[in-house]
Amino acid sequence: MSHNHCHDCNHHEHNHKLELVKLIISIILFIFSFKFSEYKLLIIITSYIIISYELVIDVFKNLFKGEIFDEKFLMFIATIGAFIIGEYEEALLVMILYQLGELLNHKAVDKSRKDIIKLMNLRSDVVRVITNDKEKETSPEKVKVNDIILVNPGEKIPLDGIVVEGVSLVDTSSITGESKPLSVKKDSKVLSGTINMNGTLKIIVTETYKNSTVSKILNLIENSDKDKAETERFFSRFAKIYTPIVVCLALAIFIIPSIITKDFNTWGYRSLVFLVTSCPCALVISIPLSFFSGIGACSKNGILVKNSLCLEKLLDIDEIIFDKTGTITEGVFEVVKVKGFGIKAKELLEIAAICESNSIHPVAASIKERYGKEVDTSKLKNFKLVDGGVTVTYDNDKYILGNYNLLRKNKVNFNMTKDIGTVVYISKNNEYLGYILISDKIKKSSKKIVSELKKRGIRDLIVLSGDNDNVVKSVCKSVGISRYSSELLPQDKVAYLNAAKKEKLNVMFVGDGVNDAPALIAADLGVSMGGIGSDAALEASDMVIMNDDLAKINTAIDIASFTKKIIYQNITFVLVVKGLILILAAFGLSNMIGAIFADVGVCLITIINSLRIFRGK
């Protein structure tokens, strides 16, 4: 948990205690006012000042800022009006009940925020750095890349790194929502914020605290209220227009009948009841809280949602575009065939491993892994990543490794293989040497999520991939997607998304976050899969799925749908109860206690209802 959060929690705790003390003193004085009737007015005024002085200060501060019409202003006017018409006890009781309701509301909201922040309590305050076989405790911010840190069983892993010594199970649930522990050993990558369960680990740090997974996640959570959903923005605007109208109506209820009937007290009281009843605070508090709880529920399930606007957009998606590699497929490649023409398969694999030695692409990694030996790169030069593959000079010969189009573009004469998979064709000085066939497993969840999204009525599911046509066609057929485009460059994907936008479609793009940043930004809703290690993914995505489970898209839509349902429940409940009590107030059939229920009581009920989202009920 960040220091700011701790400070805020302590500050709120102190404020709540102070409010509770003032409330108890005011209630005691209120009871005493009935016993000492000769000092009744003095005791009531003293009690009123104790319970409301902060509210009155806020009202006058807001008056100077030009912010007149808020719920504190309505409450102040209502209680002062009650004093003027001689309803002293009622004026004080209204303020006591209002402050009691506010205290309960704040406690409920703070409890929700604490629960959500506790869920994301990923930060370690102390790190043990090993220097010259000695342990030294320091803060995460002071640790540098390549420092060796020690993490004991039961402790949080403070920074991203690679295990250099030790074997353990790591609880990644706080990051990925995955309950099954991850087994780690030497050379395993570990993420900050996860918990080392049963073995001592020595880890070499690969990212500073500022760039670590935990820092990125906390930053996302803390800024999750930056872009507000349309529903939220509407009710913020609504409250600003609604409150002045209510004040004018209350004045009309007081002035017009009072002039006709000459009964100023009765109509004054009714207008005050009307004023208190009509406070919009239940909607102003419960709607943002509902979205915040929705974002928290997603975090609990290993889904990072940047803001409430993204949560709302989940329910308006017309079309979902998937990248193939690392999204629908595992993104774990393995060489399944090496075919040489005029060259032995073993020699072709060695050449490919040497030529791909400077590439970090998963395909290149699979070739190097299959070769399994150290390569001599001393004669390697002019390495270039090009569209569709690589070009390189080795031992003064020019090699091209890549897809069919790349070699044909370079006027290499050969026939395309009918093998299904990712094919790396290889040429030496424009003479064809052969190919390496690589396959990538389809994720278990891919077929299921495609079926579920179709049932939801998503208009179109499409795959856009840079891979060859046969591979993409085969994968799409396996998972049940009929539309696809293959052999695309990143800019082709962006062009496709822009065309869909022109048709006024709301498009979600789901990618692995490694090379899909432009498409993630171009989409209405960018979702990156397992992209937590990628800076580009976190910055470009609206939603990050912390493990590679595509089914989490469905979970996120379910949470968004439940959030919207709760918001509509709250809006309906508030409008019905307030409308009913306003009508009763206008006819003199409701008193200040009913008005307080319509304001504070309704607010508390909507808050409790909103918290159901986070609890997952």
Q: Quick one: pLDDT at residue 18?
A: 85
Domain at 159, CATH number: 2.70.150.10
Is pLDDT at 98 greater than 80 in this prediction? no
Query: In the Cβ-directed half-sphere of 392, how many Cα atoms lie within 13 Å?
Result: 23
pLDDT-derived band at 213, boundaries 50, 70, 90: confident
pLDDT of residue 530: 66
Q: Give the mean pLDDT of 71-77.
A: 77
Write the pLDDT tens digit of every residue in 336-347.
899 999 999 999
Average pLDDT score over residue span 252-272: 87
pLDDT score of 368: 92
Work out the pLDDT band at 5, boundaries 50, 70, 90.
very low
Percentage of the chain modeled with pLDDT above 90:
27
Mean pLDDT in residue range 278-307 = 80
Domain of 97, in residue numbers: 3-118+224-293+560-615
pTM, two decimals, is 0.69
What is the reported pLDDT for 483?
92
Predicted pLDDT of residue 306: 81
Q: How many domains is the chain partitioned into structurally?
A: 4
In the listed set 417, 441, 465, which residue is the last one of a domain according to the structure?
Answer: 441
Co-location of 156 and 177 in the same domain: yes
In this structure, is residue 145 part of a structural domain?
yes
Residue 207 near residue 115 (C-beta atoms within 8 A): no
8 Å CB contact between 129 and 147:
yes
Q: Which residues contact 244 (CB under 8 A, 6 or more apart)?
A: 68, 69
CATH number, position 346: 3.40.1110.10
Least confident of 95-99, 136-140, 363-367: 95-99
**Residue 97 domain flag:** yes
pLDDT greater than 50 at residue 80? yes
Is residue 229 domain-shared with residue 169, that is, in the same domain?
Answer: no
Of the ranges 1-10, 184-193, 322-331, the best mean pLDDT one: 184-193
What is the reported pLDDT for 531?
54
Q: What is the pLDDT of residue 129?
A: 94
pLDDT at 119: 53
CATH code where residue 514 lies: 3.40.50.1000
Nearest to 318 by CA among 512, 517, 504, 483: 504
Residue 323 is among the residues annotated as catalytic for this protein: yes
Q: CA nearest 311: which of 299, 320, 321, 319?
A: 299
Question: pLDDT band at residue 326, thresholds of 50, 70 and 90?
Answer: confident
> Are 449 and 545 contained in the same domain?
yes
Instruction: Compare 506 and 13 and report the one with higher pLDDT.
Output: 506
Among 441, 456, 485, the domain-final residue is 441
pLDDT over threshold 50, residue 167: yes
Same domain, yes or no, for 112 and 235? yes
- Select from 197, 222, 247 the last residue of a domain: 222
| Same-domain pairing of 585 and 436 | no
Which of 110-124, 210-224, 398-412 has the lowest average pLDDT? Answer: 110-124
**187 against 12, higher pLDDT:** 187
In the predicted model, what is the mean pLDDT of residues 430-455?
A: 90
Query: Tell me: the pLDDT tens digits for 484-504?
Result: 998 887 788 888 888 888 888
Give residue-wise pLDDT tens across range 391-408.
Answer: 999 999 999 999 998 999
Residue 408 token pair: 């044909």
Q: Is residue 230 part of a domain?
A: yes
Q: How far apart are CA 184 and CA 196, in angstroms?
A: 10
Query: Mean pLDDT for the chain?
Result: 83
- Any domain includes 229: yes
Please state the φ and ψ torsions of residue 390, each to the nearest 5 degrees: -135, 155
Out of 70, 323, 549, 599, which one is annotated catalytic? 323
Flag whether 315 is in a domain. yes
For residues 110 and 170, membership in a common domain is answered with no
> What confidence tier does 569 reach under pLDDT thresholds 50, 70, 90?
very high
Q: Is residue 249 part of a domain?
A: yes
Residue 476: per-residue pLDDT: 92
Claim to verify: residue 546 and residue 404 sit in the same structural domain? no
Question: Given this model, what pLDDT does residue 533 score?
Answer: 47
DSSP assignment of 189-258: EE-TT-EE-SS-EEEEE-S-GGGSHHHHHHHHHHTTTSS--HHHHHHHHHHHHHHHHHHHHHHHHHHHHH
Q: Which of 86-95, 135-144, 397-406 is predicted with the least confidence, judged by mean pLDDT?
A: 86-95
Where is pLDDT greater, at 412 or 537? 412
Clarify whether residues 464 and 437 are in a common domain: no
Q: What is the pLDDT of residue 152?
A: 92
Q: Do both 610 and 574 map to the same domain? A: yes
Backbone angles phi, psi at 413, to 5 degrees: -95, 115
Neighbouring residues of 128: CB distance < 8 A, sequence distance ≥ 6? 135, 136, 137, 149, 150, 151
Q: Is the pLDDT reported for residue 280 higher than 60?
A: yes
The yes-or-no verdict on residue 2 having pLDDT over 50 is: no
pLDDT at 397: 93
Residue 500: how many CB atoms within 10 A of its CB? 21
Mean pLDDT along residues 353-366: 87
> Each residue of 219-229: pLDDT tens digit?
665 565 556 66
Residue 298 domain-assigned? no
Q: Please choose, from the candidates 74, 20, 98, 3, the residue with its C-alpha nearest in 3D space to the C-alpha of residue 603.
A: 98
**pLDDT of 1 higher than 70:** no
Whether residues 68 and 99 share a domain: the answer is yes
Q: Are residues 497 and 527 in the same domain?
A: yes
The answer to whether residue 300 sits within a structural domain is no
Lowest mean pLDDT among 255-259, 432-436, 578-582: 578-582
> Which of these ranges, 86-90, 110-114, 196-200, has the smallest mean pLDDT?
110-114
The pLDDT of residue 68: 66
Tell whether 476 and 536 lie within a shared domain: yes
pLDDT value of position 6: 45
